[in-house]
A = this chain, B = another copy of it.
Amino acid sequence: MISVDEARSKILETLLPVGEEIVSLSAAYGRVLAKNVVARVTQPPADVSAMDGFALRAVDAVAGARLRLIGEAPAGHPFTGTVGPGEAVRLFTGSVVPGGADTVLIQENGVFADGWLTVTEAAGASRHIRPAGQDFAAGDVLLTKGRRLSPRDIGLAAAGNHPWLAVHRRPRIAILATGDEICLPGEAIGAGGVVSSNAHALAAMVAEAGADSTILPIAGDSLAAMAQAAEATRGADMLVTTGGVSVGAHDHVQAGLEAQGMALKFWKIAMRPGKPLMFGRLGEMPVLGLPGNPVSAFVCALLFLRPALDVLAGLPGTAPVLAQAVLGAALPANDSREDFVRAMLSSEGVVTPFPKQDSGMLKTLARAEALIRRAPFDPARRAGDVVEILRLGP
């Protein structure tokens, strides 16, 4: 058995980002940049007014001065002449400041009528002007590759005049639930049968990470079913299986995929929930075998699949971020396995474990707000102790 951190390293070190594609700006939110975005324009393109007002020469902007209004320049309609001594041009927010003018008098500080402007309050030089390139200049790197594009980034790429962006394509993840006992939601349930939930939760997690998934038909507990499933994974960047990775006589995932050529890297981790976790490679395709219990499958997916999806997507693959919280109830000493305890988290930062931690209990998992991480051999903890947690949910 290897540790959680060692397992994550072994998984991540073998993965490479998927290739790139070109997407329109409208489709780029949430995607990971494959190339730097360089400004194609200067912003503002010229000195522009930050306010509604008047362009004039600072020497003329003295209280009581009476200036001839020689034109107006709404945003998008620059004044093509030059502002001379004793002259002014009416401007609006975003208007280009015309040649000859070196300051802007805001409209509250002047009175204009019949083609004349009377200055009521003086303005200094260079007032209310956004100089050309104040935001960025053509050629500036606006966004660097390897960044997941936020709404603000999309705005910046637009302002830099990019209708298309080079991004990593969305990783394609094949998801395979295994087990003779499981069936699809809404379909007939056999004797002793249960409804498949892992594949659907994992597909949602894959979507959350910005990747695409294919849910393969459920594979029964046989080598033949695994051979058929392996065939169906063509074109996937990764195969994720659930169930059948233990040592039981009916656990066929490992043997079934090895029969198809999978090279096994490891299959046991010192953690709870989730000891049986398999990682290997079928041809070029990485294969992550998760346990069948819903809680184990989810926690293992959070610890190993999420960072793997990040690496495939072109991001750094990092361990989930841990925070600190105050324990709301005592915990007994931990054994040799790293433990992830489902818990509620109050807004005051008190984390209270659920009394029952069975790895089959999906309802408890869905309600959990945090996992308490316990190192191997962590001693008994009392209420009030500070512990490490992994926040769940938004």
Contact = CB atoms under 8 A, between A and B. Distances in A.
Given A74-B250, A156-B197, A96 B192 contact: yes
Contacts of A156: 197, 362-363, 365-366
Q: How many copies does the complex hold?
A: 2
Interface in A109-152: 130, 134-136, 140, 142-143, 148-152
Q: Is the interface of A mostly helix, strand, loop or mixed?
A: loop
A278 B163 CA distance: 29
A329 to B, nearest CB: 21
Contact of A194 (B30, B94, B148, B151): B94
Contact of A181 (B94, B136, B154, B292): B94
A45 B221 CA distance: 20
A155 B363 contact: no
Interface string A30-71: 100000000001011110101010000000000000000000
Q: For chain A, which range describes its interface: under 10, 10 to 19, 20 to 34, or 35 or more residues?
A: 35 or more
A92 interface: yes
Contacts of A365: 152, 155-156
A261 interface: no
A294 B155 contact: yes
A22 interface: no
Q: Which of A164, A179, A198, A200 has the most CB of B within 10 A?
A: A200
A201 B152 contact: yes
Interface stretch (A182-190, A231-239, A382-390): A182-190
B179 A161 contact: no
A246 B185 contact: no
Interface stretch (A10-18, A202-210, A281-289): A202-210
Contacts of A143: 366
Nearest to A360: B130
Contact of A197 (B150, B155, B184): B155
Interface of A: 25-26, 29-30, 41, 43-46, 48, 50, 52, 73-78, 92-96, 130, 134-136, 140, 142-143, 148-164, 179-182, 184-186, 189-198, 200-205, 207-208, 215, 221, 246-250, 292-294, 298, 358, 360-366, 368, 392-394
